Structure 1
């Protein structure tokens, strides 16, 4: 039996679509967390939710930057 360790080809054709879906999912998570803030009495939980949403917003910014990079690579 032959050992075939060839890596898969780098297919970036759908990266932009995947990144856009990731942005949408993350934004949905932000909205759900914001809604849960209204139901949260604990200051500790509030701080945790707000901190997590801040990290999510940073992720969205990174995803958008990657989309920009991918668009530039596809044009080249």
Structure 2
């Protein structure tokens, strides 16, 4: 028998994911600022691409948080 869909803490989980992703984004930015002269151009590009994906994820998480918050109000 499957468990019922319990969405009560989805917003909290999503908010934690946003915070973690923002932290990772900032760490990568700091790393680039600190070591950009010492790393290869391909490594820089990989970090920049990953941070672009992180930005997209943050945006998606925030949209999902809005959806979940609206769902909980229903």
TM-score, length-scaled by structure 2 = 0.91
Match of 2:43 in 1: 45
Consecutive unaligned residues of structure 1, counting only runs of 5 or more, are 1-5
Q: What is the aligned residue count?
A: 71
1 or 2 for the larger relative contact order (CA 8 Å, sep ≥6)? 2
Once residues 3 and 54 of structure 2 are traced to their aligned partners in structure 1, the CA distance between those partners, rounded to angstroms, is 30
Shift of 1:73: 0.6
User: Of residues 16, 19, 34 in structure 1, which corresponds to 2:14?
Assistant: 19
Q: Of the two, which has the highest radius of gyration?
A: 1
Provide the aligned C-alpha RMSD in A: 0.8
Match of 1:68 in 2: 66
Match of 1:10 in 2: 5
Please identify which structure carries the higher helix content.
2
Match of 2:56 in 1: 58
**Moved >2 Å (runs of 4+):** none
